[in-house]
Amino acid sequence: MAFPKAPAILASRDLRGADLASDPAGSSLRIYAWMRLARVADDRILELFRQGVIRGTVTGGQGNEWMVVPLALLLDKAIDVVCFTHRGLGGHLVWSGHLCDHLNQYLANAMSPTRAREGNIHHGDPANRSLPMISHLGAMCGPVLGAADSQRRFGREAVGVAFFGDGSSSTGDVHESLNLASLLSLPIVFVIENNGYAYSTPADEQFARGTDLWRRAEGYGMEGLVIECGDPRDIARALGPVIERVRAASRPILVEARTLRLRGHAAYDTCDYLRPGEADAFAARDPLPLYRTALVRELGAARVDAVDAELAAFIEDCISAAIAVPRPDPRGMEADLFAPVPKPFPWLPLPAAPESLTMAQGLNRAIRKVLAERPESIVLGQDIATYGGAFKVTEGLYGEFGRSRVLNTPLAESACTGYAIGLAVNGHRPIEEFQFADFATEAVTQITLNAATMHFRSGAACPLVLRLPSGAVGLGSFHSQELESLFLSMPGMKALYPSTPQDAFNALLAASEDNNPVLLFEHKGLYRRGKHPVAWDPDYRAVWHPKRVRAGGFATLVTYGEAVHLASEACDYLAAEYEADIEVFDLRCLSPLDLSEIIPSVARTGRLIVLHEGRRTHGFGAEIVARITEGAREPLKAPPLRIAALDLPVPFAHELEAAFRPSKDRVIELITGWMS
Instruction: Answer with the entry of Mg ion, ligand TPP, none that 160 interacts with (C-beta below 5 to 8 A by kind).
Output: none
E-strand ranges in 55-114 read: 81-83
Considering the rule CB under 6 A, would residue 261 count as an interface residue with ligand TPP?
Answer: yes
Angle between helices 301-323 and 99-107 (to 10 degrees): 40
**Contact, 38 vs 45, CB < 8 A?**
no
In the complex, the smallest distance separating the C-beta of residue 195 from Mg ion, rounded to whole angstroms, is: 4
Among Mg ion, ligand TPP, none, the one that 245 touches (CB under a kind-dependent 5 to 8 A) is none
**198 vs 507, beta carbon nearer ligand TPP:** 198
Min separation Cβ 451 and ligand TPP, Å = 17
Contact residues toward Mg ion (CB under 5 A) are: 165-167, 195, 197-198
Using rule CB under 6 A, residue 561 touches ligand TPP: no
Phi-psi region of 192 (alpha: psi -120 to 50; beta: other; left: phi over 0): beta
Exactly one of 102, 175, 479, 523 is catalytic; name it. Answer: 479
Residue 87 makes contact with ligand TPP by CB under 6 A: yes
Q: Compute the distance between CA of residue 444 and CA of residue 55 in angstroms, rounded to an integer.
A: 28
Does residue 605 belong to the site contacting ligand TPP (CB under 6 A)?
Answer: no
Residue 125 DSSP symbol = B
Q: Which of 75, 93, 198, 509 binds ligand TPP (CB under 6 A)?
A: 198
Q: What is the dihedral of CA 172, 176, 177, 183, to 10 degrees?
A: 170
Q: Say whether residue 190 binds ligand TPP (CB under 6 A).
A: no
477 binds ligand TPP (CB under 6 A): no
Whether 265 is a known active-site residue: answer no
Q: Of Mg ion, ligand TPP, none, which one does residue 168 interact with (CB within 5 to 8 Å by kind)?
A: ligand TPP
Interface residue with ligand TPP, options 104, 168, 382, 481 (CB under 6 A): 168
Partners of 377 in beta bridges: 429
Of 195-203, 424-432, 526-534, 563-571, the segment contacting ligand TPP by CB under 6 A is 195-203
**62 makes contact with ligand TPP (CB under 6 A):** no
Longest Cα separation, the chain: 99
- Give the residue at shortest CB distance from ligand TPP: 165
Give which of 10, 207, 193 is closest to 95, Cα–Cα: 10
Contact indicator for 120, 56 with CB cutoff of 8 Å: yes
224 binds ligand TPP (CB under 6 A): no
| Rounded CA separation 342/489 (Å) | 25
Kindly state whether residue 132 participates in binding ligand TPP, applying the rule CB under 6 A. Answer: no
Told to check if 197 binds ligand TPP by CB under 6 A, we report yes
| Shortest Å, Cβ 345 to ligand TPP | 37
Could you tell me which stretch among 162-170, 492-500, 569-577, 654-662 binds ligand TPP (CB under 6 A)? 162-170
DSSP conformation letters of 234-272: HHHHHHHHHHHHHHHHT--EEEEEE---TT-SSTT---T
Instruction: Return the residue of 27, 150, 151, 195 that touches ligand TPP, per CB under 6 A.
Output: 195
Distance between CA atoms of residues 511 and 541, nearest Å: 9
Considering only residues 171, 426, 515, 559, which one is a binding residue for ligand TPP as defined by CB under 6 A?
171
Instruction: Tell me the β-bridge partners of 381.
Output: 408, 433
Q: 167 or 430: whose CB is closer to ligand TPP?
A: 167
Selected binder of ligand TPP within 24, 154, 199, 309 (CB under 6 A): 199
Q: Decide which of Mg ion, ligand TPP, none touches 393; Cβ closer than 5 to 8 Å per partner kind.
A: none
End-to-end CA distance of the chain: 68
196 to 140, 232, 511: CA distances (angstroms): 21, 20, 45
Q: Which does 450 bind (CB under 5 to 8 A by kind): ligand TPP, Mg ion, none?
A: none
Task: State which of residues 91, 132, 167, 388 lies at the interface with ligand TPP (CB under 6 A).
Answer: 167
Site for ligand TPP in 438-457 (CB under 6 A): none
Decide the pairing of beta strands 494-496 and 589-591: antiparallel
Give the chain's radius of gyration (CA, Å).
Answer: 28
DSSP H helical segments within 250-375, as ranges? 278-285, 287-299, 301-323, 359-373
Q: Can you tell me the distance from the alpha carbon of 397 to that of 512, in angstroms, rounded to the nearest whole number?
A: 17
Contacting positions for ligand TPP (CB under 6 A): 87, 135-137, 165-168, 171, 193, 195, 197-199, 261, 265
- Catalytic residue list: 479
